[in-house]
Structure 1
Amino acid sequence: MTPWSDGRRDAPAVDRRAPRATGRRRSRAPKPTWRRLLGVALWTVVVICGLAYATSLAVPLWFQAHQQRILIVTSGSMAPKFEAGDAVVLRAISDESDLKVGQVISFWPTGSDELVTHRIVALRKLPDLQQDEATGRMVQKIGADGEPMTKSYVVTKGDANAEADVNATPIGRIRGVQLAVHEGWGWVLQWAGSAQGRAVMLVPPLLALATLELLAMGDARRARRDRPAPRTDHTDRRVDELLLD
């Protein structure tokens, strides 16, 4: 060793870094089997119910994005074409020339706000009537050219009905022309849109997420409780104190 100018030997090197906490690192204990199975079951509920709810919203939106509408059949008047509980896809008409005999249409019958889906059996031009203020009788309108005015109507009939519908329907009360039929979709969509269906699809996953959060909090508390207390190594500090005395 190289002597100092005062003849003493080199002083031992002193590590003046802060003392480090030492202790054995304990591996995390595996979760019990029941705990893992419970977690899997809860996440399964969240995924299945979440997908069901998202599908119930996405199906009508998909048809709307394609300028179509989906209606639920509530009667068997068009059997065997489709039955109650099926869903019918409609396309709105832009002109009366889109209508042809044999097409299935959905419409509001005159004087009713309930949609009916029947087949066109005839297209007719009927007099466009208005009430005469003087006599109170219904008379045919006269156009600017002096000619009697007519209005387009459709005569409809349910495939399962023996007779055609009593009243012809004006073109303006037609909702759309049938494009496709999906068997059984109607009951599912009707249930999914009901208060009961919404509750079934939303309440279980919310409860499952709340349970998962409580379980995670319990796991965190147990991990903190089982963590070993750190031990501080005072060896370096005692060496510093002896050398500085």
Structure 2
Amino acid sequence: MQLLTSGLRVFSWLTLGAALLLLAAVGLWYASGGRLLIVQSSSMTPKFSPADVVLIRPVQAANIVPGQVISYYNPNKLGQIISHRVVSKGPKNTFVTKGDNRPDKDLPVPESKLIGRVVAVAPGLGGLLRLLKSGYGIMTMYLLLSVVLSINVGRFIARNNPSYELYGQ
């Protein structure tokens, strides 16, 4: 029984440490200007697919070369972000882009609409992020947090108060 208890304690600390490291990494990524976006369409399949997460690093327009995948605000639809491959550079730092899974090129993208360059892809992570942001995901996270907190508070009380006894041992 004691081996199981110490194993659970180690697992709890490792889980907490991993969660804190992940939180710190995401915070540093955002603080340095990076962004995470969930892919919504199949326009870049097979490079990335719907529900993948792309990591975007800010970059100067002069450093973009054909072949790289960039993310930019759609010049024709307010608030929409597109991530497509640069086919060529036009005059005055404009970019001609195209989705890998699309037959036609996009309209030229001005430098002012550039967000950054896609530097990494996390396959399937977007589905988990969407779930966590949903009502069910938030309720599940609160429930798990409550259970873990209750167990740890109960252990603390039992360990530090000799009047509480654990029966069955």
Q: Same fold (TM over 0.5)?
A: yes
| Pairwise CA distance, 1:87 | 2.0
Cα distance in 2 for residues equivalent to 1:185 and 1:196: 17
The equivalent of 2:163 in structure 1 is: 221
* Secondary structure in structure 2 of the residue aligned to 1:172: helix
Structure with the greater relative contact order (CA < 8 A, sep ≥ 6): 1 or 2? 1
How many residues align? The count is: 162
**1:67 and 1:208 mapped to 2: Cα distance?**
34
In the alignment, is the contact (CA less than 8 A) between 2:62 and 2:93 conserved in 1?
Answer: no
Q: Distance in 2 between matches of 1:196 and 1:53?
A: 20
**Match 1:160 to one of 69, 83, 101:** 101
Map 1:11-160 to 2 at 5 A: 47=13, 50=16, 53-54=19-20, 57-94=23-60, 96-112=61-77, 113-125=79-91, 151-160=92-101
1:183 aligned residue: 123
Gaps of 5+ in 1: 1-32, 126-150, 224-245
Aligned CA-pair RMSD = 3.3
Assess if the C-alpha contact under 8 Å between 2:89 and 2:96 holds in 1.
Answer: yes
- Identical counterparts, % of pairs: 29
Letter in 1 for 2:143: V
C-alpha separation in 1, matches of 2:83 and 2:75:
14
SS at match of 1:169: coil
Following superposition, the deviation at residue 57 of structure 1 comes to: 2.5
Rg (Cα) greater in structure: 1
1:42–1:209 contact (8 Å) kept in structure 2: no
Please give the TM-score of this superposition, normalised by the length of structure 2.
0.72
Do the aligned residues in 2 keep the contact of 1:103 with 1:177 (CA within 8 Å)? yes
TM-score by length of 1: 0.53
Q: Which runs of 5+ in 2 are unaligned?
A: none
Distance between the aligned counterparts of 2:142 and 2:22, measured in 1? 12
CA distance in 2, matches of 1:208, 1:38: 16
Measured after TM superposition, the shift of residue 203 of structure 1 is 2.7
